[in-house]
Amino acid sequence: MENSIQGILTHGLVAYKGLLFPKQVKVSLFDSQGVPGNRAAPVTLLFEITEERLKCISLTAHASADNRSISSSLLRDINVEKIGEDALASLALELKVQSDEEVTPAPLSKGRRASKELVDGLQRLTLRELMFIGFHYSNPLNAASPTKAVWHSLGYGSRHTALRRIEEARSKGWVLGRDATREQIDAHFEIIRKRLEDSNGAAS
């Protein structure tokens, strides 16, 4: 499918790693090559940068007389994270040398590095997210497949993203080292569970 990318400048710009990005980005996917009546339904994705992460906040598909019905196979073929990463990289701007106001398109390599970090969201894992990673990874009910539990419970787009965030949580002490015993993991789980209960109580 072809695509069109639009930076929504009315929502402002976000500075990250010396670059500027539109706070919101719209990507439209469409099939112009198929036979009318048998084309893939057009899809529109809306991304937003929040807390130094690129999140997809809306995904819509629209079927018409020219398109096939919306199906699960259409949605399975949409790699949301990759679409967002590529779109954001193409819109990266940087200030011109010796200027505080003029901008110019940033080199694609710079845009790609920054957009990948924003998609992965590893720069700013929130305390609550770290707690939930530790909770699901350490939960005795998830002992057979802790990575899968984190991946699906927190809604990460891929196993790779889940693994990277688990390692980030491990480096901050929310996930124990690989040499930890089951007893140590269970005790760690109880500490996190109690902390989550306390934080939920404080918020209510």
Per-residue pLDDT of the chain (204 residues; tens, 9 = 90+): 899 999 999 999 999 888 999 999 999 999 888 788 888 889 999 999 987 788 899 999 998 888 888 888 888 889 999 999 999 999 999 987 666 678 889 999 999 999 988 887 755 678 888 999 999 999 999 999 999 999 999 998 889 989 999 999 999 999 999 999 999 999 999 999 999 998 877 655
The pLDDT, as a whole number, for residue 202 is: 63
Task: Please give the structure tokens belonging to residue 97.
Answer: 């040398």
Under DSSP, is residue 121 helix (H, G, I), strand (E, B) or coil? coil
Dist. CA 137–CA 172, nearest whole Å: 14
CA dist 42 and 49 (Å) reads: 24
Distance (Å, whole) CA 187 – CA 120: 30
